[in-house]
Amino acid sequence: MHLVTSDLLRAQQTADPIARALGILPATDPDLRERSYGEAEGKTPGTTPFLAPPSGPGRMDHHPGTPGTETRRQWATRAYRALDRVLQADAEHSIIVTHGGTLTYLISAWIKLPLDDAGHAKFSATPGGITRLREDGFTHDRCIIELNHSAHLNNVPG
C-alpha cells in the first residue's frame, strides 16, 4: 500500500487519519498541490484579475491575468509527473490525497489523455470525495470505477 499526498496542510490533514488506519506513513509530493494563483493566493475570488481561457486552441498556455499564476499546462504537467511517480512505486494499491482541480489532471493522466487535450477536461469532486481508478489486469484498460464517491460523508458534522 502506498499513500501519497499534496504537501499542503488540508491534504495532509485528510491523509493523516488514512495513514494511521492503515499503519503506514504518507509520502508528500508538492506536484500534487492545487493550482498556484500567484499574487491572487489567499485573496477573495473576484478581487484580482481573471481572464477565462479560450474555448479553442491555446487553453493550456493561456495566462489568467494575475502575475505568478500557473498556466493550465504548468499545473497539468505537475499532476502528470506526480501520477508517473505513483505508478513507478509499483504498489498493488495506491492512495493519492490531492485537491479538486488537480484531480482533473490526475484522471486525465490516468486515462492517457494527451496533455494538450487535458485543458478541455473537468472532473468535479467534493472535499473528501473518493475516486477509484483501476487498470484491468487482462486488457490493461484504465478504468474510472467511481468518481467522487461521498456517501461516507453523509453523517459528518459540517
Helix or strand run (H / E) with residue 102 = helix 100-110
User: Looking at the 3D structure of the chain, how many domains does it have?
Assistant: 1
Per-residue pLDDT tens digits for 9-56: 999 999 999 999 999 999 999 999 999 999 999 899 888 888 999 998
* 71 found inside a domain: yes
Residue 123 in domain: yes
Position 52 in a domain: no
Supply the range of the domain harboring residue 132.
2-33+58-153
Q: Please report, for the domain that includes residue 80, its CATH number.
A: 3.40.50.1240
Residue 45 lies in a domain: no
Per-residue model confidence as pLDDT tens digits over 83-122: 999 999 989 999 999 999 999 999 999 999 999 999 999 9
Task: Report DSSP state, residue 54.
Answer: P
In this prediction, residue 158 has a pLDDT band, given cuts at 50, 70 and 90, of low
pTM comes to: 0.93
Question: What is the percentage of the chain residues whose pLDDT exceeds 90?
Answer: 88
- Give a yes or no: residue 8 inside a domain: yes
For residue 72, which of 51, 87, 41 has the smallest C-alpha distance? 51
